[in-house]
Copies of this chain bind each other. A is one copy, B any other.
Amino acid sequence: MAMVIDCHGHFTTAPKTLHAWRRKQLDTMNDPANAPHKTDLIITDDEIRAAVEAGQLKLQKERGGDLTLFSPIAGQMAHHLGNEQTSLVWAEVCNDLIHRVCHLFPYNFVGVCQLPQSPGAPPAHCIPELRRCVEELGFVGCNLNPDPSGGYWQDPPLTDRVWYPLYEEMVRLDVPAMVHVSSSCNPCFHGTGAHYINGDTTAFMQLLLADLFKDFPTLRFVIPHGGGAVPYHWGRYRGLSLETRQRPLEPLLDNVFFDTCVYHEPGIRFLTQVIPAANILFGSEMIGAVKGRDPNTGEYFDDTKRYLDACSHLSTEERHKIFEANTRRVYPRLDMLLKRRARVEATISV
């Protein structure tokens, strides 16, 4: 049966005790004796159920979704705060919490992990946590922050060799990364209104300029928020690729995908007319950047499935790609999980 898989959801409704723990962690950054231990964070299963059932799960059902790739709150990754150790413990705490959500609602949520990045720290240091999340917790992808400095862009581009060990591990595990910045501590950049979109645009242009996918032919990136500014400026990027690299842009689409977090119907229609259906993954980032309803329609801005449903130019096959097949292809561990489940269910029903 056809599924509707949302490739982009964060646990934005996490219980407040999580945020209190984080505050204490940051407050005691230079005072290890008083630092909170991971076990100091007490969140009951009932609290998790309440947070999800009143939030993402409710909306998932109301909107006709089946499953969401679920990761820690992007804006709270805040890799620029604290040091490498701070980021590691915080990533473990957040990923463990996602694991519990997925364990409680295995049919509705599958995990995507936060990485313990830190400004200036080698991305290779993220490998153990990535491995733990994928091999022990059953996660199917990761979120990769192209700017751990939080809006000052002081780490090397994503195509720098400093990232290669992490990419090698992603390839080995066969997991993609969603390229997703965190909050901005730069007063020039509003988080969800500027830094997020700029991060997407910036990452794409870095990929355009380099030969990363010659070195990693099976590495895959999802650029969220509809690809930032990229589809709107597709002609600019086609021209820049021809001019700066003497090659067409299109082969980049073997490795780069866009989600559908574009919060109005004309934008989604445009995206699906300019970018091949094979490169578009349904996503809503609900509950996230824009929580309200459009006063003109009474509907939620981030109900992106509604916009896709209204795109009459999409064929049944293209819809199937966008809502299910592409995400299963880009996240093969999700596909394996779903196939395994289908086999188990077939056995039970026999």
Contacts and interface: CB of A to CB of B under 8 A. Distances in A.
A263 B193 contact: no
A151 B152 CA distance: 9
Q: How large is the interface on A (under 10, 10 to 19, 20 to 34, 35 or more residues)?
A: 35 or more
A233 B156 contact: no
A187 B209 CA distance: 12
A209 to B, nearest CB: 6
Contact of A192 (B153, B194, B240): B240
A232 B193 contact: no
A81 interface: no
Per assembly, the copies of the chain total 2
Contact of A205 (B147, B194, B226, B243): B194
A301 B233 CA distance: 11
A264 B289 contact: no
- Give 5 nearest A-B pairs by CB, closest first: A235-B264, A239-B290, A235-B263, A229-B229, A232-B232
A197 B290 contact: no
A197 B270 contact: no
A236 interface: yes
Interface of A: 146-147, 151-153, 155-157, 186-190, 192-194, 197-198, 201-202, 205-206, 208-209, 225-226, 228-229, 231-240, 242-243, 248, 262-267, 270, 273-274, 289-292, 294-295, 301-302
Contacts of A262: 232-233, 235-236
B236 A193 contact: yes
Contacts of A197: 201, 229, 233, 236
Contacts of A208: 190, 193
A270 B232 contact: yes
A266 to B, nearest CB: 5
A236 B156 contact: no
Given A152-B152, A235-B264, A243-B291, A194 B187 contact: no
A233 B263 contact: yes
Contacts of A155: 188
A157 B188 CA distance: 5
B201 A301 contact: no
